[in-house]
Amino acid sequence: MKPFGVFEDEEELNHRLVVLGKLNNLVKEWISELGESKNLPPSVVADVGGKIFTFGSYRLGVHTKGADIDALCVAPRHVERSDFFQSLIEKLKHQEEIKNLRAVEDAYVPVVKFEFDGIEIDLVFARLSMQTISDNLDLRDDSSLRSLDIRCIRSLNGCRVTDEILHLVPNQENFRLTLRAIKLWAKRRGIYSNMLGFLGGVSWAMLVARTCQLYPNALASTLVNKFFLVFSKW
């Protein structure tokens, strides 16, 4: 699959990690500043937290060269959705490394799109009913959905589905390699697109995950064969 640009090299992978680290620090800084502006006690502001989670193909470990990163900004209860689309955007505008910044507030899942040091990022937002957001927050815990509005639940859904898929497959490395092969096959045949009525990224991932469950000890080469065998007779 290497001739088709499926894999990134080590330098490109590390660059993505650096960009995500910078974005995570920016978000934490913004949440703290917002807490101060809303007169939260200094002791609360010091531990208020906030975190960037990834989902989609990057989180699954199957993204291709030059692919964007789907990311989720999780904030505590003092941060409103309007803050995300106003004060955070203002903060991002002042970062030299960020370009092509635009907000799509009326989307099914409202999103802020931008390019951070050459990496395209789609950032969605969820506000949890917690005073602080710790770095070890587990979004698979259903209690995190308590008292949330529908837009926040939709934003969280991407991360929760991605993490659940990774949790349910018997061997993540075999799953990833198999999914890369199936995605490449689907794209080259023009059937990788939910907008055109075919299957999208998550749907293909779920089908491959099911194949991995049916053949837990199989290698990726066998799993690709079994994928077509299973779903040709589904």
Query: Which positions are annotated as active-site residues?
Result: 57, 68, 70, 122, 183, 192
The answer to whether the beta carbons of residues 56 and 159 sit under 8 Å apart is no
Q: What is the DSSP letter of 148?
A: -
Give the span between the Cα atoms of 204 and 188, in whole angstroms: 14
Strand residues in 16-116 grouped as ranges (E): 51-55, 69-75, 98-104, 111-116
Residue 124: which H helix or E strand, with range?
Answer: strand 119-127
Instruction: Please provide residue 185's backbone torsions phi and psi, each rounded to the nearest 5 degrees.
Output: -60, -45
If you search the block for the tokens 């991995």, which residue do you land on? 212
139, 18, 44, 33: which is closest to 86 by C-alpha?
Answer: 33
- Structure token pair of residue 230: 């299973």
User: In terms of C-beta density within 10 A (0-12 exposed, 13-18 middle, 19 or more buried), how is residue 226 classed?
Assistant: middle
